[in-house]
Amino acid sequence: MRCRPRALPRTSRIPTPGGGSGGAIYNDGNTFTLTICGSEVTGNSARELAGAVFYVSNDRSGSVVIDRATFRANPGLDVQDLPGFFVLAGSRTVTASTIE
């Protein structure tokens, strides 16, 4: 799969569902795929788990794909090996990306 890089606009936010997780992206459900491709995500925060991405596939059938993306300065609890992320999924793939 090839993606086309594009800039994502910054917008003002209202409090996120799920108690304040997922400063940039919040997904919670069952079978779905989150693909982040050719993007830069910086300077987000959340009140709880993940400043960058909160992703929960309740039945663990979903997937996360990160391709040629950069994530910087998105603080959160380092509960997994992806700083700023909280991911419960059937699969996750990270290629040619920087996550710090």
Q: What is the pTM of this model?
A: 0.77
**Greater confidence, 48 or 62?**
62
> How far apart, in whole angstroms, are the C-alpha atoms of residue 9 and residue 47?
22
pLDDT value for 45: 85
**Greater confidence, 56 or 10?**
56
Per-residue pLDDT of 52-82, as tens digits, reads 998 888 899 989 999 999 999 988 766 567 8
| Domain residue spans of the chain | 34-99
CA angle 95, 16, 55 (to 5 degrees): 30
Nearest CA among 69, 65, 11, 64 for reference residue 39: 69
pLDDT, mean over the chain: 80
CB 60 within 8 A of CB 90: yes
Rounded to the nearest 5°, which phi and psi values hold at 64? -120, 130
